[in-house]
Amino acid sequence: MVPAKRVQTPNVPLPQLYYHGQNMATYTIQLKNEDPWIESTIFYLYQAAPACKAPVYAAVCQSVAIDAGSTGELKVIAAPYAVVGTTKNGLSDPTEPIVIENLDSRPVQLTKRPVKGSVVRIDRGSGENSAPYFDDGGASTTTADASFRISASENAQPLSPEESIVMGLGAQNPITGEIVPVALVPAQAGKTLTFTPELLRYYIALGDFQHSKFERADWVTYDWFTEVDFRGKSPGSRVALVWRRDEEGNMHWIREDGVEAEREPEAME
C-alpha cells in the first residue's frame, strides 16, 4: 500500500540502490517555506503522468510538511516499476478517488536501443480470494522507445461487479523502500498496454490531497503547483524552490537563482 502521509523528510543517507545492475539515479528537491501567514504547509509531490492510450489515474508520490521559515526536501529515484492491484470503488466516475489493494510490483527496463524494454504479464488464479499477480514466466521484451508494456492474461478478470483490476507505473519510496503506485489504468483481460514514463519530471502541488487516493490525472485540480524538471541534469542533482508570500499577500514560487518559477495553470500532463 502507499505509505501514510509523513512529516518533514529526515536528512538520512540513502542506501546503495541498483537498477538492472547499475546504480539508480537519485535526485533531490529542496523546498523552503517563506509563507509567514500559515504555521505549516504540506507540499505534495506528483510524478508526471506516463504516456498511455488509456485514461491515467494519478496519486501523490510523497509529501513533506514544512513549518514557516523552515526548509525540507524530497528525494526521488528515477527507476520504473510495473504495478498491479485491485480496487473496490470501480472506475465509472472519473472524479471519484480509488483506493488500491493487493498491490504487486516488478522492476522494469525501458527500451533504450540496443537494450529492449520489459513486457511483464499479469495473471489471476481461480480462487475466491485470489489477487492479480505478475507471472514471471510470461515476461518478454518490447522495442517501443523509452517504454515498457503490461500484458493482461484472459484470467485477469474482476471477481465482482464492484471490483476493478488496475495496473501501471510505480516508483520506489527512498525512505521506506516501498514501491508506490503513481499512475494507474484499468486492466483489460487479454490486452496489452504500453507505458512511456516521465522519470525526470515532477510536480510540487499545494492543496487538499491524500496519499493512496487516485484520481483521473486530467480531472484533478492542482492548486499552486509548479514543475520540477531534472532532464539534462546529472544523477544526484538538486533543485531548490522557495514558496514565498509577498507583502501584498500574493504567493509565488521562486527558483534558487531568484527568478520566479512558472506556475502550471492546468491539470498535470
From residue 20, alpha-carbon distances to 79, 106, 134, 173 in Å are 10, 12, 18, 18
For 45, half-sphere exposure in the C-beta direction (CA atoms, 13 angstrom radius) is: 29
Rounded Cα gap, residues 177 and 172, in angstroms: 6
pTM listed for this prediction: 0.85
List the chain pLDDT tens, one digit each, 269 residues: 233 333 333 333 333 333 443 447 999 999 999 999 999 999 999 999 999 999 999 989 999 999 999 999 999 999 999 999 998 866 666 556 677 899 999 999 999 999 999 999 999 988 777 999 999 999 999 999 999 999 999 999 998 888 899 999 999 999 899 999 999 999 999 999 999 999 999 999 887 787 778 887 876 665 678 999 999 999 999 999 999 988 888 888 998 766 677 655 444 55
Q: Can you list the positions of beta strands (E) in 129-178?
A: 133-134, 140-142, 148-152, 164-172
Q: What is the pLDDT of residue 222?
A: 57
φ, ψ of residue 24 to 5 degrees: the values are -75, 140
How many helices and strands (H and E) does the chain possess? Answer: 0, 22
- Grid cell 488509456 is found at 54
